[in-house]
Chains A and B, each alone.
Chain A
């Protein structure tokens, strides 16, 4: 696929280009900052743009650049790579978009298979979240106050965790050794308990479920 990247660390930028090319992807643009990337992509579309979060324009140029890219190239997938996996940035990323978007640790995309799988899922419209972050968010309910996720059963929480990683129903069923029908029932129950009803699309409701969880912890839910 056609990929562009922006990252201010030259060594990491070179490593990423090597890996992308080894995986058979075409690196259309490779820039040290967000503004340069936007200029480079003005007249040539890519499938996915890979962005460092902490890069120029400072302080979090990756987010600003992503917002502008989403506005000008809504079909381009966005993959954020960072040295940190933090819920604060996940919330901001999901505010930019809840489709064709991903957030992963820099060192966790270090194989051709993982990098290609991540890019393919994003290009297919999925959301991909660093598993350690998804787990941290769902497995440690903070307290009962303002935490709607506490009302979920253990199994529903397992399902929500896998949804937060962007897995499809079939993959969730496989992971939990249950039927697809059972997964659908759990998801319907999660949507119901979190107060997410029919008007949103299925894929948006999945992400809204994760966001509701995050916001409940921020005291906004």
Chain B
């Protein structure tokens, strides 16, 4: 949507090794956001920028040794996660697993019998990318993401925006797989609700 598609992996890596500066710029723009999300989730906002810059520099210095056993993006994300972990601030974020069922009983989307109160209307879009073209919706999602409990935010950043696998995420956050899935789902569900409301009312 914002950038033209990157060439296939093999060609991509070959060209990056051969001093293709235009392609390098495109790659930075394409993957920077995911890397930032991972750095932010692990190391916090104050040093996330630094972590991403360091990760890029490590990647640049190692690109000639990159053999393409994983996708370039996964490789970049892994480097970022490692860089972020090594700089992890010592004071921990709020680590308590919030009571995940706190709102369950009062979820107004459902009747007392647990059925949809409003039939959950269809969204009026043809593709997820179309959702992103609405600037107001993006601002709204961002606002609500910032308000999510820390761990839910971390899960969305690491898994859905960063594309890290669940096992790596559990290791980084030191939580169990089932906790991770619950937290991830709470975050996704919240984002779904924000979009649904926006679709219904045009408001955040």
Q: A and B: partners?
A: no
Which positions in A face B, CB cutoff 8 Å?
none
